[in-house]
Amino acid sequence: MKKVLCAVLVAALACIFCGCGKKDVAADKYTLVMNSKAVSAPVTVESLGKDYDLSFSVMLRYKGEPVAGVKFDESSTEQDELKKPIKFMVRSLICSDKTDFSIGGIELGDTMKDVLNVYGQPTYKDEPLNIWKYCKDGKSEDDYWLGFQFAGPDPEKITSIYFGFE
């Protein structure tokens, strides 16, 4: 899982530096919202709509603007990347501010306090990388479904969001 996370993060870092737009869809704490639409599993690039595509097989784009790094479900036998189920996404500050991306109303730039108010204490804290990980009951640290990284000039603010589809 760490190799996957690193690969997706590297892909996200290949994007143009910027922030994130505000969301318009009200969401519960388990709902991913992209471009004002709730996204639920199973999700593929194709199912997101005609305005989405891939760059370098790992960067999800909306109308040509980077949205998030993606990791596909390795167990899928689908050969067409646009039809493969997406297993994991990472959104970081280097993605386009012309697209929105939030989970449970939390988005890039929000604070540790905002995360605590919605999700409570993390299941695990990855101290070297300053990532708060949230796992389903009984899952290991490497099998988290949601993570928030706090790094950069203001270590209290979210710089990356990690989201896994089950």
C-alpha dist (Å) from residue 32 to 27, 79, 162: 8, 26, 11
* Per-residue pLDDT reduced to its tens digit, 92-151: 987 877 778 999 999 999 999 999 999 999 999 988 889 999 987 767 666 778 999 999
* Per-residue pLDDT reduced to its tens digit, 15-43: 322 333 344 444 578 889 998 899 988 89
Percent of the residues in the chain that have a pLDDT greater than 70, as a whole number: 81
Nearest to 70 by CA among 95, 91, 48: 91
| Residues 103 and 163: beta-carbon distance below 8 Å | yes
| Residues 101 and 20: beta-carbon distance below 8 Å | yes
CB-count burial class (<10 Å; 0-12, 13-18, 19+) for 119 = middle
Give the confidence band of 68 by pLDDT, cuts at 50, 70, 90: very high
What's the pTM?
Answer: 0.79
* Residue ranges covered by each domain of the chain: 2-164
Q: What is the per-residue pLDDT for 31?
A: 87
**Tokens standing for residue 40:** 């639920």
